[in-house]
Structure 1
Amino acid sequence: MHDIRAIRDNPDAFEAALARRGLTGLAAQILSLDEARRARIQAAETAQAEQNRASKDVGAAKARGDEAEFDRLRTLLAQSRADIARMQAEAADLDGQLRDLLLGVPNLPLDHVPEGRDENDNVELRRWGTPATPDFTPVEHFQIAGVVPGMDFELGAKLSGSRFVVLKGAVARIHRALAQFMLDLHVDRHGLQETWTPVLVLEEMMLGTGQLPKFGEDSYQTREGWWLVPTSEVTLTNTVHGDLVDHATLPRRMVAHSQCFRSEAGSAGRDTTGMLRQHQFEKVEMVSITDAETGLAEHDRMTRCAEAVLEALELPYRTLVLCTGDMGFGARITHDMEVWLPGQNRYREISSVSYCGDFQARRMNARYRPEGGGKPDFVHTLNGSGLAVGRALIAVLENGQQADGSVLLPQVLHPYLRGASRLTAQGDLA
């Protein structure tokens, strides 16, 4: 959420930053509502002051026994109270309109974020690893012989409908091993605090991180009013919701493995085969809570944490900085990691790491108390996948596939699989 005072002070800069995202005219719309709201508030306060003075006149008229003047003034007071109530109601309505408008305005990109319209304008920062050149034609993950027995889309559809899968046997075990490996790496090497959080949250938590109101159709809500988290970014970031934390406790670095739920309403018709885009999936999510001075450095650190997972899994990838037209709603800058998928012969997203500045903190009213005193300031927040577990499974299976339908597994997973190093063509671990 944006600071209305900053928009008032420099509307041209605000408008120029949003124009880089392809949005125009919002500054004038916001300031028009703000001006009308402030005018109603001022009018109500002026009328209240006049009413207070009139109340004294009523008392004086009654004291001197002037019944006619007393009745006249009392009638005027009643009308004044009605006018004040009306102006206050109008101000409250305009305040709600302004809040709703601001809640739907995306974050402002940093100056050095490349300008562009869509994913074709993203800028590659670096690559790691060289995609293999096998002497056979690689297939997609769900077509690998050893995977077929353990990846049941028909049963998933029977149980829940389209875009669900049931993992069985060795494939389910590899999936679980990946999540455990990622958690261990982030906790033991990267110093993140392992955290377990609910997958059902209150609406204000979805508002706090920016999933609502703009992207409500992409999430699921229960009849009782809870929302299913699209990622544990929601819960981890909201751990400081409404809090005033000590600066000495920052940065707070957390990691969680959770189920995630997305309706994929905005992705109809995309990636309908395989398990690349599912309604229910798992992620290992990283969140950092920092101050303004260390936020960008933390973004680079978190990017390296995600890259380290890919490197340990021996998966070729590339890192991109997203352009202004492809960035997420709450981000000021985003790094995407795309992993090589031989079955598709292309790189596909497996992690997004975003720096949000104080955008989410303003929505959550999450602040910190500076060391040595001073006025509290809003925390800065970051989030990133470390990694999407299902997509990591896809990448491991496709990059390790062999001509006979078996799959060689990354060495770092062997201890999590009781020493097994491959998935056989029959679907067993060996």
Structure 2
Amino acid sequence: MPATSNPAARFLFDPRFVLLAGSLIALVALGMRHSFGLFLDPIAGSLPDVDREAFGFAIALQNLMWGVAQPFAGMIADRFGSARVIFVGGMLYAGGLVCASAASTSLGLVLGFGVLVGVGLSATSYAVVLGAVGRRFPPERRTSALGIASLGGSLGIFLSVPVTLSLIDSLSWPTALVSLALVAAVICVLAPALSGRSVEPNADQTLKSALGEALSHRGFVLLVLGFFVCGFQLAFIGTHLPAYLLDRHLAPWLGGAALATIGATNIAGTFVCGVLGDILSKKKILVALYLARSGAVAVFVLLVPSDVSTLLFAAVMGFTWLGTVPLTTGIVAQIFGARYLATLVGIVFLMHQIGSFLGAWLGGLVFEHTGNYDIMWWSVVASGVLAAVIHLPINERSLADEGAVPGRVLRNA
């Protein structure tokens, strides 16, 4: 905490306030993103050259821009401070929503929803926010703090749908987007709270040496591969579960209820995983999460689907949904320290987004070629087992405990 006699400044840089601000930023940024699909029908119905394909491309580009820009946002945050990056990201996010609200063609929609919001997300979501929060807490409390910050994103996902639906129903869709842009501007107000220094300063280490250290470390590579699987699984299920239920002749309401159940149990799961991560081995909890996902999917696909089995499946999946975030981020911080946490987590999340892209896209491709989702469901099962297996060899010990020195690249054999 910066040395100061000013009570307001001491409060602003108190780790608890940093955690609160980071949670609220994640709530706004990730929550609003979850509701963008609700704009498909009103926008496609009012703009002459926007159909489902054009809207889908804008959202797909948003995911891609989010993933590609995230490591760079993390690097800039680690070099110049998270507060500056989050402030600029909030401006881009709000500007993208305003741009989309004023769009008269698909190009404006792609620029707003796709490019500006995508880059804005890279600066206001997990990598930069969790990097800032992780730097303000000591190792023994860090994973639970990361879990609480991630909980903000989970709560935002849960709240976003009813709020956005209410805005669209009571206002025109352009006005609803402008209203969301005003909410996004809150990110800029909260950004200064995430400007505190790390509790683990390591001024001697350079970004280049930190990257070399991580990319040479077998555990980091395995974490990256595991998070790729996480993105693949969640994007497929989140995108295609409602259609799968309709294919099995279940009621149309069930798809929305299943996604709402995932959002609700996700809140509890993220918090529990964060707390357990400060007590137990994080990699072992991740192994359990991936195996639980695979088991839940296998049972769900093998059973004759019903309302009850679907909601039970959604509850189990929701509990494991984002619990991987504080655990994976916590392992990165535990091994490499918090100095370049935003950069390293940005690389991990880039692979998550690539997995997300493939999960959503391959789900549709496989269905179009086979007429069902069977191959994808069993790919989710197999990939979850693989992710569990590759987490087992990860060495969670800190490089500092192993005698690492700043600037030296170590290999985890």
TM range (shorter): under 0.3
State the TM-score, normalizing by the size of structure 1: 0.22
Greater strand fraction, Structure 1 or Structure 2: 1
State the TM-score, normalizing by the size of structure 2: 0.22
Greater helix fraction, Structure 1 or Structure 2: 2
